[in-house]
Chains A and B, each alone.
Chain A
């Protein structure tokens, strides 16, 4: 281990300075940092929209915002969180970690890497700018269903082009990741020695390449329907609005796994480290991830059970949806088995990882409930769905991202973060995320529809509890910013290995790693990757 660390210290570590370092960067670490900072900003922009939503829902009646603006907030919150926060955070981690995990000097296509990042601020300028133009932002929901979305005013073309740009950015990022992993691995880094985080990202990248063009196709059709007289989704012209739902969810369901699979990868890195045991069932983890990805293309219509599908179709999509629980169960079992009889310690990354395993599974189970066709007729478009996907995406994907930041921050900055504050951040986040989202299950089961600014009086109590949880969760994330800034500015120096149980190439580099790492390929042996 130490020989590799030394081999990488003795080269020149020149880096550009000033704004040019960031604007024209082709360095995977700098681009990774930019992605992560960008996504953090987006978390807070999207989060502030969530605060507006929860403030409006604090009690029945209309109090703060008009319904049109409320709908805008619901729509843009989702778009910002999915495309601006969670996805870029995953790409940021991939940029930072994949090259140093596989022993590559950089990403395969560094200039394209720069471009995929810098497209995003422009795309979000287009999207967020619509909130300030005449007629307000898009308000038809992030799913952009016609004919409702075609009623969007001047914001419409901005929305469509923003989605196109984000798609282009994601596809370029995905191509880069695949090329990096397939062509840039160090000698000895065989495919079945790849860290699980790398595996999950390769599979995610294939999902992106297969699903993003479909979304682009769908929104292009929306654009031509609105401005060029086509009738893809216009029944009066021989089209079908339900066609859009099919196309959208053919993208939309794999998208769910685009958000979730990197999170699975992160958890599969963290649990072995803090359980001080190798990951249980490495090969089965790889195959389970691939199975989930493949199955994700055959379940899209479970989002649209209520549109009037043929009964055989509904049954097919119900069974296919149930089938996804099998590889997902394999993963959860493997994480638990990894911890079994491990010498566990509970630092902040492990706490977030443990919370992930439990809370993501709750989200998975409510997903199974929604996947049962006859039952979905009751739950469809209610707050039960909102509770379900927030368990999957917030206590799932976002918790995994939080875990990853605490796990890798000492590696990135060379400083240890404040463990005590991080644990406080963990407990506040976990408690209040549950206060925020658990009551929404009950609201949904009792029939409260989603995407409404006002509701019947019987939903008042749980909504108030949910809103209080939301405000507390939102405020406690400020602590996260403080912990990160404090760690970047200084703190106890981190060692190269950082965590006692950490294994893999990235931990052989100094903390922080040199600006140009692995300029000479390291030799990867089984002993380096194993316990």
Chain B
């Protein structure tokens, strides 16, 4: 898969990078909000 991405074009890699970054960022944000909300009474 990595091989293909490198061969085809940089746009594809960029798109994948941004998608992964978005997912990881959302995970981090959900941890943050989750901890805050779960400790509210």
Q: Is the CB of A213 within 8 A of B29?
A: yes
Which residue of B6, B17, B33 is within 8 Å of A109 (Cβ)?
B17
A217 interfacial by beta-carbon distance below 8 Å: yes
Residues of A within 8 A of B28 (CB): 171, 175, 209, 212-213
Cα of A109 to Cα of B24 in the assembled complex, Å: 13
Chain B residues within 8 Å of A374, by CB: none
Contact A175 B35 (CB under 8 A): no
Complex-state Cα separation, A182 to B2, whole angstroms? 8
B18 with A184: CB separation less than 8 A: no
Q: A213-B28, A214-B31 are in contact. Are A187 and B13 (CB under 8 A)?
A: no
Q: How many A-B residue pairs have CB under 8 A?
A: 77
Q: How far is the CB of B34 from chain A (nearest CB, A)?
A: 8
Q: Which residues of B contact A521 (CB under 8 A)?
A: 6
Q: How far is the CB of B36 from chain A (nearest CB, A)?
A: 5
- Scan residues 176-190 of chain A and give those whose CB is less than 8 A from a CB of chain B: 176, 178-180, 182-189
Task: Give the residue name and chain of the A residue nearest to B13 (CB).
Answer: A183
Tell me which residues across on chain B come within 8 A of A184, comparing CB atoms: 2, 13, 17
Known: A109-B21, A175-B21. A216 touches B41 (CB 8 A): no
Check if A175 sits within 8 Å of B2, measured CB to CB: no
**Within 8 Å CB of A221, what residues of B?**
36, 39
The answer for the CA separation of A214 and B3 in the assembled complex, in Å, is 36
Give Cα distance in the complex from A179 to B6, angstroms: 14
A210 within 8 A of B: yes
* Interface presence of A279 (CB below 8 A): no
How many interface residues does A have (CB within 8 Å)?
33
Residue numbers in A under 8 Å from B29 (CB-CB) = 213
**A183 and B20 contacting across the interface, CB-CB below 8 Å:** yes
Asked whether A247 is an interface residue with its Cβ less than 8 Å from the other chain, the reply is yes
Could you give, for residues 14-27 of chain B, a 1 whenever the CB lies within 8 Å of some chain A CB and a 0 otherwise? 00111011001101
A218 at the interface (CB under 8 A from B): yes
A179-B20, A185-B2 in contact; A217/B36 too (CB < 8 A)? yes
**Which of B20, B25, B29, B34 neighbours the largest number of chain A CB atoms within 10 Å of its CB?**
B20
Nearest chain-B residue to A212 (Cβ)?
Answer: B28
Q: Does A243 contact B (CB under 8 A)?
A: yes
A179 with B21: in contact, given A221-B36, A238-B41 (CB under 8 Å)?
A: yes
Q: For residue A187, which residue of chain B has the nearest CB?
A: B3
A247/B17 contact (C-beta < 8 A), A171-B28, A187-B6 known: no
> Which residue of chain B has its CB nearest to the CB of A224?
B36
Q: Give complex CA distance A62, B19 in Å.
A: 57
Bound-state CA distance A232–B13 (Å) is 44
Query: Taking A175-B21, A176-B21, A187-B6 as contacts, is the C-beta distance between A213 and B13 under 8 angstroms?
Result: no
Q: State the CA gap A109–B5 with chains docked (Å).
A: 16
Residues of B near A174 (CB, < 8 A) are 24
- CB contact between B17 and one of A179, A187, A210, A238 (< 8 Å): that residue: A179
Q: Measured between C-beta atoms, what is the minimum distance from B27 to chain A in Å?
A: 6
Interface flag for A332 (CB, 8 Å):
no
CB <8 Å contact, A109 and B31: no
CB distance from A342 to the nearest CB of B (A): 33
Interface residue? A112 (CB, 8 A): yes
User: Contact: A213 with B35, CB < 8 Å?
Assistant: yes
Beyond A213-B31, A243-B39, whether A108 also contacts B17 by CB under 8 A is yes
A183-B16, A184-B13, A209-B28 in contact; A220/B36 too (CB < 8 A)? yes
Distance of A210 Cα from B35 Cα, bound (Å): 11
Interface residues of A (CB under 8 A from B): 108-109, 112, 171, 174-176, 178-180, 182-189, 209-210, 212-214, 216-218, 220-221, 232, 238, 243, 247, 521
Besides A178-B20, A183-B2, A214-B32, 8 more A-B contacts (Cβ < 8 Å) are A179-B16, A187-B7, A209-B24, A209-B28, A212-B28, A214-B31, A216-B32, A521-B6
The 10 A-B residue pairs with the shortest CB-CB distance in the complex, in nearest-first order: A217-B35, A213-B32, A213-B31, A108-B17, A187-B3, A175-B24, A179-B17, A179-B20, A521-B6, A213-B28
Residues of chain B at the chain A interface (Cβ within 8 Å)? 2-3, 5-7, 13, 16-18, 20-21, 24-25, 27-29, 31-36, 39, 41
A–B pairs, 26, beta carbons within 8 Å: A108-B13, A108-B20, A108-B21, A109-B21, A112-B21, A175-B20, A175-B28, A176-B21, A180-B17, A182-B20, A183-B13, A183-B20, A187-B6, A187-B7, A189-B2, A209-B24, A212-B28, A213-B28, A213-B35, A214-B31, A214-B35, A217-B35, A221-B36, A238-B41, A243-B39, A521-B6
